[in-house]
Amino acid sequence: MQFITPQNKDGQKLIHDIVMHPLKVNKDESGILVETLRTDWQDVYGPGREFAMQYFSVTPSGVIRDEKVWHYHPGGQEDRFLVAQGEIVVAVADGRKGSPTEGLLNLFYMHAADDPYLLVIPKQTLHGFMTVSKSDAVLLNFPTRLYDPNEEVRVPHEEAEIKNAEGRLFSWGQVKKVFSIK
């Protein structure tokens, strides 16, 4: 199972429109400061990728958001994920008809303290995440649209039929095994 990180993204086939924007950690004797979203970062902000809101979630170790279903936004919202604490794996699957990467699954490993980055999840792609650190993970999201419960769809994994690199139907159990999570 291959997890994509900023260090190994070259040579990986990424879902069309995925963006992994590296963040600079400014560190001195008083601690660290990390800019998380700027209007001059043209790869993650601009026409069609305006800022709408920001929220954070805290997810305990081993918990999967949308464990048996894929989550997506049919109206065109993009999510911009950033891990501020802990470690997560984000699964993004391209179920868009006619996309050049239709059917592709990417697994992104995000670690707050180790080379942080902003992950842009493209419009209408299926996604979910799991906390793989021993402690809680704090995820910040800067979506391109205001929250609207009518603009969220969940599709059971079996219906989407997204397969991993080995050709098996994707399940979070595969990720749990790699990270030794019960």
Beta bridge partners of 83: 139
pTM: 0.95
- Output DSSP code: residue 163: B
Q: Give dist(CA 2, CA 115) in Å, integer.
A: 18
CB 75 within 8 A of CB 151: yes
Relative to beta strand 117-121, strand 55-59 is unpaired
Residue type, 1: M
Contact assessment for residue 122 and residue 18, using Cβ atoms and an 8 Å cutoff? yes
At residue 110 the predicted structure's pLDDT band, cuts being 50, 70 and 90, is very high
pLDDT single digits (tens) 27-82: 999 999 999 999 999 999 999 899 899 999 999 999 999 888 999 999 889 999 99
Residue type, 10: D
DSSP, collapsed to helix, strand or coil, labels residue 72 as strand
pLDDT score recorded for residue 115: 87
The pLDDT of residue 157: 87
Beta strands in 29-177 (DSSP E): 31-34, 55-59, 64-65, 69-72, 79-85, 87-93, 105-111, 117-121, 126-131, 137-141, 153-156
The domain segmentation of the chain, as residue ranges, is 19-177
Bridge-based pairing state of the strands 117-121 and 64-65 = unpaired
Q: Does the pLDDT value for residue 144 go beyond 90?
A: yes
Phi, psi of 14 (to 5 degrees): -100, 150
Mean pLDDT, to the nearest integer, of 87-116?
Answer: 94
Question: What is the CATH topology of the domain spanning 19-177?
Answer: Jelly Rolls (2.60.120)
CA distances (Å), 116 to each of 109, 148, 157, in order?
A: 10, 28, 29
